[in-house]
A and B are shown apart, each in its own frame.
Chain A
Amino acid sequence: MLYGGVSGADPTAGGAAKHDTDVTHVNGRTNVRQMGETKQMSVVDYLVLGDEPHLEANACTSCGALFFDRRNACAKCGKQSFEKRALSNSGIVRSYTIIHRAAPNVAVPYVSSVIELDGGGVVKGNLLEAGSDPEKIELGMKVKMTTFGCGVDEEGTEAVAFGFVPA
């Protein structure tokens, strides 16, 4: 993709969503949930909400390759059988950049990072609570996943995204 989409949200806003109250599993994969009055939806399919939010990959049953998108076949081995696999919530910072210029409705600076999850899976997400001083962000540092609200639609449904914080 040459140019990506643009966020309507402040990526640095909101901390971790609370996971301890009144969780109703609205569908089987719990990427929609009811939190008191607020209905929440994960911002992407591969973020699973519920009691313990986590990332979920489509894992090739032949070679084990992991993917986050809807699959037709495996990019590594060409086979067509997949199973859902829950990924670890901890990992290390494989790379990062500090974004200072973005679309007008994206708050800057923010840190975009590439995270290598313990036990497999590489994912892109914002690095939160680490500041924006390159001297203080260490490549290889340990992080853990968190979730945060990233927008509310006109019906009051809140979108929930994931990010990473220093472990």
Chain B
Amino acid sequence: MADNIWIIGATMTKFGRYPDKDSVDLASETALGALADAGATIGDMQSLSVGCLLEASNMLGQHLQKQIGQTGIPVFNVANACATGATAVRTAMLSIKAGEADMALAVGVEQMGKMGLLGPAGRERAKPTGFERSGRYGTVMPVEGVLGTQLMPGVFAQAGMEYASHHDGVGFEQFAKVAEKNHAHSTLNPLAQYQKAFSLEEVMGATMIAYPNTLLMCCPTGDGSAAVVLCSDKKLKTLDPDVRRRAVKISASVLTSDPYVESDTGQPDVSTLTKQAAKTAYEQAGVGPADLDLVELHDCFATAELIHYENLSLCEPGGAGDFIDRRGPWRDGQTPVNVSGGLISKGHPIGATGVANLYEVATHLRGEAGDRQIEGAKVGLTHVIGLGSACAVHILEKAAS
């Protein structure tokens, strides 16, 4: 296809805690890193997209420009829950597809600090004064814990348990095996927030957060950034042979939101929009799940990863429990999933996540992933989902050369 779009530069910070840096520092580091990787400068970019959930309303992209180069190009400040980073990349792609740019920079970043697993909702609130109805549900007081939970660990636990209710052979142990795998994978990734393996017994025996998710089955909060430089087909042909050799093709880029389902009133549906995104992405790229050499999917909780095996068609319908039981998603299995360690161990600075998984897959396709390299990787898929909901799926392919 003549209108392919390519990743020619990619980088990420190690995910973790950077109390002495702000989001502009982290974003500058990866923006400059990705530009250098592409053999380009900020002067070559005709579009900049910056994804940051907590600071998108703060003109973060322009603050970044003031550190790396104010060239007057359009800036998009993007927020889309946990799909923020992937949406920023897509915005950059659309600028190229629309013919407004032939090279574009997309940066994802988040500086979360130690906000804790439950976020601001984990703190105690004042006792109620006079009851008065407010909001779209006419609520008279906070109802978290009164009318069930809407915090992430519980919501994703419920999503996993709903899958378990329909499929035999899926339970606590299968969910725990997902986390055992991702922690094991992370020991090979120097960019992961944590790099420590845990036995299945240790995963299952860890502090229970929201059954069946224990602490070791939940992603941590953290800080970090990732960035990619994109270019058009036409532009790529004019670049250095070494840049062309390392270029990675974006064969599919799909963004979905959740179509109406009856159960929305009780529980967000994270599956339907993921299935639709995957189906469209496979069609766009002209590849199938069997062609994938690796997958980086959105394992915010172990329960989420398990249901996405089926949502992304990595296993037979109903076969997610069996897939993990026979080690299908391990790095030496049928389809390696989250060889980076995933969100569970690599970390999840929200805005950075959807760019970092493109970095991860691109690095394998370039053959530059070091100890964790999946040998001979030619095709990979990335997936993120943000509750609300937004889902992005990208399929990347190694240049034919």
A residues with a Cβ closer than 8 A to B are 1-9, 11, 31, 41-46, 57, 65-70, 75-76, 94-107, 109-110, 112-116, 120-126, 134, 139-140, 150-151, 153-155, 157, 159, 161-163
Q: Across the two chains, which residue of chain A brings its CB closest to B127?
A: A8
**Using Cβ atoms and an 8 Å threshold, which residues of chain B touch A126?**
145-148
**Using Cβ atoms and an 8 Å threshold, which residues of chain A touch B161?**
95-97, 139
Q: Is the CB–CB distance between A9 and B266 below 8 Å? A: no
Q: Is the CB–CB distance between B141 and A4 below 8 Å? A: no
Q: Is the CB–CB distance between A6 and B123 below 8 Å? A: yes
Interchain nearest-CB distance for A149 vs B (Å)? 10
Q: Is the CB–CB distance between A95 and B117 below 8 Å? A: no
**Using Cβ atoms and an 8 Å threshold, which residues of chain A touch B342?**
none
Q: A6-B145, A112-B154, A159-B131 are in contact. Are A139 and B209 (CB under 8 A)?
A: no
Q: Is the CB–CB distance between A69 and B136 below 8 Å? A: yes
Q: Is the CB–CB distance between A43 and B211 below 8 Å? A: no
Residue among B130, B147, B264 making CB contact with A44, cutoff 8 Å: B147
**Using Cβ atoms and an 8 Å threshold, which residues of chain A touch B239?**
none
Is B164 in the interface zone, CB < 8 Å from A? yes
Q: Across the two chains, which residue of chain B brings its CB closest to A155?
A: B130
Q: Across the two chains, which residue of chain A brings its CB closest to B262?
A: A122
Alpha-carbon gap, A68 to B142, bound state (A)? 16
Q: Is the CB–CB distance between B117 and A101 below 8 Å? A: yes
B residues with a Cβ closer than 8 A to A are 53, 81, 117-131, 133, 136-154, 157-159, 161-162, 164-165, 172, 207-213, 260, 262-267, 387-388
Interchain nearest-CB distance for B123 vs A (Å)? 6
Alpha-carbon gap, A19 to B103, bound state (A)? 68
Q: Is the CB–CB distance between B146 and A9 below 8 Å? A: yes
Alpha-carbon gap, A106 to B209, bound state (A)? 14
**Using Cβ atoms and an 8 Å threshold, which residues of chain B touch A104?**
123-124
Q: Majority SS of interface residues in chain A?
A: loop
Interchain nearest-CB distance for A51 vs B (Å)? 21
Q: Is the CB–CB distance between B262 and A1 below 8 Å? A: no
Interchain nearest-CB distance for B81 vs A (Å)? 6
Among A2, A66, A150, A161, find the residue whose CB has the most chain B CB atoms closer than 10 A.
A2
Q: Is the CB–CB distance between A9 and B141 below 8 Å? A: yes
Question: Nearest 9 CB-CB pairs, A to B?
Answer: A45-B138, A5-B142, A97-B157, A106-B145, A122-B266, A139-B165, A4-B150, A124-B148, A112-B148
Alpha-carbon gap, A9 to B161, bound state (A)? 26
Q: A104-B124, A106-B144 are in contact. Are A98 and B260 (CB under 8 A)?
A: no
Residue among A9, A46, A65, A140 making CB contact with B262, cutoff 8 Å: A65
**Using Cβ atoms and an 8 Å threshold, which residues of chain A touch B140?**
41-44, 159
**Using Cβ atoms and an 8 Å threshold, which residues of chain B touch A101?**
117-118, 153, 207-210
**Using Cβ atoms and an 8 Å threshold, which residues of chain A touch B148?**
112-114, 124-126
Q: Is the CB–CB distance between B121 and A4 below 8 Å? A: yes
**Using Cβ atoms and an 8 Å threshold, which residues of chain A touch B81?**
2
Residue contacts A-B, CB under 8 angstroms, 17 given: A3-B151, A5-B143, A6-B124, A8-B125, A9-B146, A44-B140, A46-B137, A75-B264, A95-B161, A99-B210, A102-B118, A102-B145, A103-B122, A114-B158, A124-B150, A153-B141, A159-B128
Q: Across the two chains, which residue of chain B brings its CB closest to A148?
A: B146
Residue among B121, B130, B153 making CB contact with A5, cutoff 8 Å: B121
Q: Is the CB–CB distance between A94 and B143 below 8 Å? A: no
Alpha-carbon gap, A114 to B144, bound state (A)? 14
Interchain nearest-CB distance for A90 vs B (Å)? 15
